[in-house]
Amino acid sequence: MEMAFGVFGLMGFVFALAAYSKVDKLEKELVERGILERDSD
């Protein structure tokens, strides 16, 4: 049973990384188009 939790944790981590990279890519695209302003901090 502990092995299953580890697998789910790993899958969740990979999914979160993929989602973050897509959001980051989208944000850069919007900033380049002038739709969104980049935070200065």
Q: pLDDT tens digits for 8-38?
A: 999 999 999 999 999 999 999 998 998 877 7
**What's the rounded Cα separation, in Å, for the pair 2 and 20?**
27
pLDDT of residue 1: 66
pLDDT of residue 14: 97
pLDDT of residue 27: 92
- Residue 35 token pair: 């739709």
Residue 31 contacts residue 37 (beta carbons within 8 Å):
yes
**What's the rounded Cα separation, in Å, for the pair 8 and 13?**
9
Residue 38 contacts residue 31 (beta carbons within 8 Å):
yes
Q: How confident is the model at residue 41 (pLDDT cuts 50, 70, 90)?
A: low
